[in-house]
Amino acid sequence: MNSTKNILVLCTGNSCRSQIMHGWLKYFTGGTVNIYSAGIETHGVNTNATKTMAEEGIDLSSHTSNHVDEYKNIDFDFIITVCDHAAENCPVIPSKNAVRIHHNFSDPSKLKGSDDEVKDAFRATREEIKLFCKDFVKSNLVR
């Protein structure tokens, strides 16, 4: 793996899906690439995202919700949008050679239901993102 790679994960509020992907990418790359997550808005880190990743042994408790403008001076190798809203409203990011990838993951934070239904929705999204991250790392970062 090339330790100089910079990856930006972009979502609407940088609270849930982008945070989960940030955690998985860091896990699957062993911390050998720079992972950034941001939103076109900031909504704070969703506690259910933190809890569902903790079930997998991945600690998001120190993560913060960041605005994409904070990273405008970083030259990204990959920019991954994880929701349609972010993909459609993404500001111009001046990374010259960034490969842009889009995948709209289900948003468990929008579910209205019992605690168990909400937990199940977060787990389903966590697993969906986990599979994407495994494939992404295998296809794009492992040589």
Enumerate residues 6+ apart whose C-beta is below 8 A from 114. none
Backbone phi, psi, residue 138, to 5°: -60, -40
90 is catalytic: yes
Separation between Cα atoms, residue 114 and residue 118, nearest integer Å: 6
Domains in the chain, start-ordered, CATH in brackets? Answer: 6-140 (3.40.50.2300)
Q: Which residues, given as ranges, of the chain have pLDDT below 70? A: 1-3, 86-87, 89-92, 94, 143
Catalytic residue among 82, 83, 129, 137: 83
83 is catalytic: yes
The pLDDT tens digits of the residues spanning 73-84 come to 899 999 999 987
The pLDDT tens digits of the residues spanning 84-99 come to 776 676 666 767 788 9
**pTM of the predicted protein model:** 0.91
